[in-house]
């Protein structure tokens, strides 16, 4: 039997807030496959929780990185360039919109709310990938997390749907640009999972039950399943796949009624 082997690979995982974060499930899958890990956190508030989770993988750097700050992004890759030399995997698992932009009428989205959501949830993927690619001298794999609201209407998801549509376009554009360097760029479109940021979407528990009732597998997904799919997309087993949006949603996306 072939298993996923990422020994000798170095991965930067962004977006761990706590043990429920999809980024943490991905880190665990990459770590189990033998990858060396580095983590980033946003602001001092999260430093302790990310550091204590990262302790499971001794020696993993834990670095500050608020993606609204170019100097913090630069510092992460300068550190990794100095300490590791090369990078093989980038996990982008970051999204944010203001609470008031995740409920009510989409047409009332403010300019500031729009810019915030698009900057943090989509532009950051372009900016981090640009920096990571410079360290991917042996080729690499870049992965982001998206949601089906990029394609279809999910009430209350509002401007985050716009951000996910931009993010998915960026996956294709970056896959095109970085393909000649053997850097593959993909996304996982996850079904709803109860995490800190998901609970910020008004009516999120309704999304969970709707998915459970209508999905072909008649259940919600487990974070571990996102981790397993991520390990596949970051491994040589997926060497022919780039620019792809892989649904890990118990099949919900295929349903009409």
Positions touching ligand NAP (CB under 6 A) are 15-17, 21-23, 42-43, 46, 65-68, 93-96, 120, 145-147, 190, 192-193, 195-198
Is 147 marked active-site? yes
Catalytic one of 57, 123, 157, 247: 157
CA end-to-end distance (rounded Å), the chain: 39
Is 41 marked active-site? no
Segment holding 245, helix H or strand E: strand 245-248
Instruction: Indicate left, alpha or beta for 109 from its phi (over 0: left) and psi (-120 to 50: alpha).
Output: beta
What residues are paired with 184 via a beta bridge?
141
CB 79 within 8 A of CB 63: yes
Phi, psi of 205 (to 5 degrees): -65, -30
Q: How many CB atoms lie within 10 A of CB 46?
A: 16
Q: CB-wise, 6 or 16, nearer to ligand NAP?
A: 16
CB 14 within 8 A of CB 40: yes
CB 175 within 8 A of CB 243: yes
Q: CB-wise, 179 or 200, nearer to ligand NAP?
A: 200
Q: CB-wise, 168 or 235, nearer to ligand NAP?
A: 168
CA–CA distance from 254 to each of 104, 211, 214 (Å)? 27, 12, 10
Q: CB-wise, 3 or 93, nearer to ligand NAP?
A: 93
Number of Cα atoms under 13 Å in the Cβ half of residue 238:
25
Cα separation, 231 vs 57, in Å, equals 16
Instruction: Indicate left, alpha or beta for 230 from its phi (over 0: left) and psi (-120 to 50: alpha).
Output: alpha
Q: CB-wise, 46 or 126, nearer to ligand NAP?
A: 46
Q: CB-wise, 4 or 76, nearer to ligand NAP?
A: 76
Segment holding 49, helix H or strand E: helix 44-54
Catalytic residues: 147, 157
């Amino acid at each position: 039997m072939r298993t996923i082997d990422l020994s000798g690979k170095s991965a930067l995982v962004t977006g761990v807030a706590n043990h429920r974060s999809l980024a943490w499930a991905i880190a665990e899958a990459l770590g189990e496959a033998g990858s060396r890990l580095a983590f980033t956190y946003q602001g001092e508030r999260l430093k302790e929780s990310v550091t204590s989770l990262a302790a499971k993988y001794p020696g993993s750097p834990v670095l500050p990185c608020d993606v609204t700050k170019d100097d913090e992004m630069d510092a992460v890759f300068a550190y990794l360039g100095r300490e590791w030399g090369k990078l093989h995997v980038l996990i982008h698992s970051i999204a944010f919109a203001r609470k008031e932009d995740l409920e009510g009428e989409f047409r009332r989205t403010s300019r500031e709310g729009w810019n915030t959501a698009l900057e943090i949830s989509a532009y950051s993927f372009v900016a981090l990938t640009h920096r990571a690619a410079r360290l991917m001298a042996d080729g690499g794999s870049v992965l982001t997390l998206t949601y089906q609201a990029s394609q279809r209407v999910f009430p209350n998801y509002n401007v985050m749907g716009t951000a996910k549509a931009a993010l998915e376009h960026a996956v294709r554009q970056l896959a095109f640009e970085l393909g000649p360097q053997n850097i593959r760029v993909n996304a996982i479109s996850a079904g709803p999972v109860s995490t800190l940021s998901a609970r910020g979407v008004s009516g999120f528990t309704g999304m969970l039950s709707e998915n459970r009732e209508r999905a072909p597998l008649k259940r919600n997904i487990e974070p571990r399943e996102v981790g397993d799919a991520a390990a596949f997309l970051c491994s040589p087993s997926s060497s022919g796949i780039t620019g792809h949006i892989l649904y890990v949603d118990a099949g919900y996306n295929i349903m009409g009624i």
